[in-house]
């Protein structure tokens, strides 16, 4: 019989579990290992697709579940014997026809867009060629060069790819812009123009678009229900706008010191920054000190 976890620790990656150099610190690793040994499920919770998560996270032996693509895919990534697997448990995707309409709407705006589909990231070749000129963060630029699969034209590719595969839809659209006024306006405007679409952000230049039910908070609660964990025994750590839903949904929502103001306002507690082992501090306070470790 499968053992019910003592609770769930849901962790955003960039700016939360990972420091500003995109590294997992020894302190955060040790705290999460101890929490796992105390019976807690450690669940990376990210806007990335699973294959785009850093190797250091995917190789953690105590990680059995992951919430990916902002909740569009909740996955079992390691079986009971500890062997890697790739089972999608639940999630929510936007109809591919709506995704094509959104991308067409973005075409006359100064943005670089891509989409996640079939647990991979795809991008029009001509837009990928502009990554260095638009995206300011060098680490994000590298991710785009390494992980975006170029296609001649994304809208046509999505229509052909999904149209020939019944049930296949789009998991997320993401775009970057250098126009901060436009970014601010589109965060509000897009859900009005496209009902049922949730607009969030995980970095200063981007906007991420998901189906309304594909959010980290709903995904956390769905996973808790599947594992038999009471909602009050969930803890969530985050720093970006796409973390607000899980900060609010969790039994204890924890914002990083480096978090967006809106994330801090939604949190039950504010921990140290991602460069000061804020995750370890929260795990020690709310998990390890309660388990006598």
The percent of residues in the chain predicted with pLDDT above 70, rounded, is 98
pLDDT at 1 over 60: no
Question: What is the pLDDT at residue 51?
Answer: 92
Question: What is the pLDDT at residue 293?
Answer: 58
Q: Could you tell me the pLDDT band of residue 127, with boundaries at 50, 70 and 90?
A: very high
pLDDT tens profile 222-258: 999 999 999 999 999 999 999 999 999 999 999 999 9
pLDDT at 3 over 90: no
238: nearest Cα among 212, 216, 208: 216
pLDDT tens profile 26-72: 999 999 999 999 999 999 999 999 999 999 999 999 999 999 999 99
pLDDT at 264 over 60: yes
Question: What is the pLDDT at residue 218?
Answer: 96
Q: Where in the chain is the domain with CATH 3.30.1240.10?
A: 96-211
250: nearest Cα among 61, 18, 10, 17: 10
CA distance 177 to 186: 11
Q: Where in the chain is the domain with CATH 3.40.50.1000?
A: 7-92+214-288
204: nearest Cα among 49, 14, 66, 13: 14
CA distance 19 to 13: 9
Question: What is the pLDDT at residue 10?
Answer: 98
Question: What is the pLDDT at residue 110?
Answer: 97
pLDDT tens profile 148-195: 999 999 999 999 999 989 999 999 999 999 999 999 999 999 999 999
pLDDT at 196 over 60: yes
pLDDT, mean of residues 263-286: 98
Q: Could you tell me the pLDDT band of residue 290, with boundaries at 50, 70 and 90?
A: confident
Question: What is the pLDDT at residue 152?
Answer: 98
Question: What is the CATH T-level fold of the domain 96-211, as seen in this structure?
Answer: 3.30.1240
The percent of residues in the chain predicted with pLDDT above 90, rounded, is 94
CA distance 151 to 34: 44
pLDDT, mean of residues 211-220: 95
Q: Which residue has the higher pLDDT, 81 or 266?
A: 266
Question: What is the pLDDT at residue 91?
Answer: 86
Q: Could you tell me the pLDDT band of residue 292, with boundaries at 50, 70 and 90?
A: low
Question: Considering the domain 7-92+214-288 in this protein, what is its CATH number?
Answer: 3.40.50.1000
């Amino acid at each position: 019989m499968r053992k019910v976890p003592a609770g769930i620790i849901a962790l955003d990656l960039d700016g939360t579990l990972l420091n500003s150099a995109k590294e997992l610190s020894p302190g955060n690793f040790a705290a999460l290992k101890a929490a796992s040994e105390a019976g807690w499920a450690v669940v990376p919770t990210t806007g990335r697709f699973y294959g785009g998560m850093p190797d250091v996270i995917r190789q953690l032996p105590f990680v059995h579940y992951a919430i990916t693509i902002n909740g569009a895919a909740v996955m079992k990534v390691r079986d009971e014997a500890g062997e890697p697997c790739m089972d999608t448990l639940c999630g929510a995707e936007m109809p591919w026809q709506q995704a094509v309409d959104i991308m067409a709407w973005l075409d006359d705006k100064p943005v670089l867009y891509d989409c996640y589909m079939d647990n991979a990231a795809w991008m029009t070749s001509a837009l990928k060629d502009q990554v260095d000129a638009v995206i300011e963060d060098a680490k994000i630029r590298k991710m785009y060069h390494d992980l975006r699969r170029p296609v001649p034209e994304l809208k046509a590719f999505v229509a052909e790819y999904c149209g020939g595969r019944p049930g296949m839809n789009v998991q997320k659209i993401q775009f970057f812009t250098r126009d901060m006024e436009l970014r601010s306006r589109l965060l509000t405007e897009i859900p009005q123009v496209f009902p049922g679409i949730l607009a969030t952000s995980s970095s200063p230049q981007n906007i991420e678009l998901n189906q309304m039910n594909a959010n980290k908070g709903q995904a956390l609660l769905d996973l808790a229900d599947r594992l038999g964990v009471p909602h009050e025994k969930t803890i969530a750590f985050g720093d970006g706008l796409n973390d607000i839903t899980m900060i609010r949904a969790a039994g204890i929502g924890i914002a990083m010191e480096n978090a967006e103001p809106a994330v801090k306002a939604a949190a039950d507690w504010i921990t140290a920054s991602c460069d000061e082992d804020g995750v370890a501090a929260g795990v020690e306070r709310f998990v390890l000190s309660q388990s006598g470790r």
